[in-house]
């Protein structure tokens, strides 16, 4: 499937950044622009988001991974590249690493985890998917996710950021949001992928992340052969939006050291 994408910078290194759910590629815009001095940066809308197609049905994390593979081929990326993903984007990055590890020079896992949903969590996603389909609106998903995406303080101090994140969520179509919910509910545990990932990994977490706290990063660091963990102070689940400068600096250091 052909994905819509933005491209920043140029050069020998390529970095591909995958967004979280249900946000779209704009969530990486500031970070991508900042690291464009050291790499070519490709930032797609995953299927179901933004300007990419949103077919009916659930989107397996491998569906997304094959879409990303098609995109990098289309962009003429031949050498191994760095794949980064936040939350759902991290689930996709791990699915990609499972099947196409040889394409990667490194991986960035941001506010994500390798484990699957519990049966209760998966049922909750299915219930939410049915609810938004019945309503013809994604508002129930926005109401469920928006209050926990940012560090608690941001809801008091930074209304512009809160409304900006809401705006990103409002752009996503019902079929795409439902497809991602069902795909995430069905995703496999990919802890085994971490154990055998023989390339460098940057684990990047917001200190105030309530969805995937830094503890998830510590767990992944303990099984990855070559990982470094950076905790971004004061950020919640979305460091690229909450602390873009610190996030960009961490990614630049990782990419330039490879
Ligand atoms: C995300 O940010 O992509 C989601 O919170 C992931 C999830 O719901 O598991």
Closest atom of ligand 1 to CA, residue 117 = 9
pLDDT for 15-70, tens place per residue? 999 999 999 999 999 999 999 999 999 999 999 999 999 999 999 999 999 999 99
> Using one digit for the tens of pLDDT, what is the confidence trace for 66-88?
999 999 999 999 999 999 999 99
**Pocket probe mutation, ligand 1, options 23, 87, 144, max atoms within 8 Å of Cβ:** 87
What is the distance in A from the centroid of ligand 1 to the CA of 11?
A: 31
Q: How many residues does the chain have?
A: 258
* Atom nearest to 237 CA in ligand 1: 2
Q: DSSP string covering 16-72, please?
A: EEE--TTT-GGGGHHHHHHHTTTSEEEEEPPTTSTTS---SS---HHHHHHHHHHHH
């Amino acid at each position: 499937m052909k994905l819509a994408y933005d491209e920043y910078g140029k050069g020998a290194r390529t970095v591909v950044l995958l967004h979280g759910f249900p946000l779209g590629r704009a969530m990486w815009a500031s970070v991508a622009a900042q690291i464009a001095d050291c790499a070519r940066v490709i930032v797609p809308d995953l299927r179901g988001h933004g300007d990419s197609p949103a077919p009916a049905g659930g989107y397996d994390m491998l569906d997304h991974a094959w879409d990303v593979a098609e995109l990098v081929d289309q962009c003429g990326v031949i050498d191994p590249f760095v794949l980064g993903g936040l939350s759902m984007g991290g689930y996709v990055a791990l699915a990609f690493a499972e099947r196409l590890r040889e394409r990667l020079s490194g991986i960035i896992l941001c506010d994500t985890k390798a484990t699957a949903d519990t049966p209760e969590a998966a049922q909750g996603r299915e219930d939410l998917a049915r609810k938004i389909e019945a309503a013809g609106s994604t508002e129930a998903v926005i109401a469920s996710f928006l209050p926990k995406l940012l560090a608690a303080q941001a809801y008091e101090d930074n209304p512009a950021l809160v409304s900006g994140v809401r705006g990103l969520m409002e752009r996503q179509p019902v079929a795409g949001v439902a497809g991602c919910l069902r795909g995430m509910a069905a995703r496999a545990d990919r802890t085994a992928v971490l154990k055998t990932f023989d390339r460098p990994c940057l684990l990047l977490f917001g200190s105030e992340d309530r969805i995937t706290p830094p503890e998830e990063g510590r767990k992944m660091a303990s099984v990855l052969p070559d990982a470094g963990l950076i905790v971004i102070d004061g950020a919640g689940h979305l460091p690229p939006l909450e602390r873009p400068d610190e996030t960009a600096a961490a990614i630049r250091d990782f990419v330039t050291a490879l």
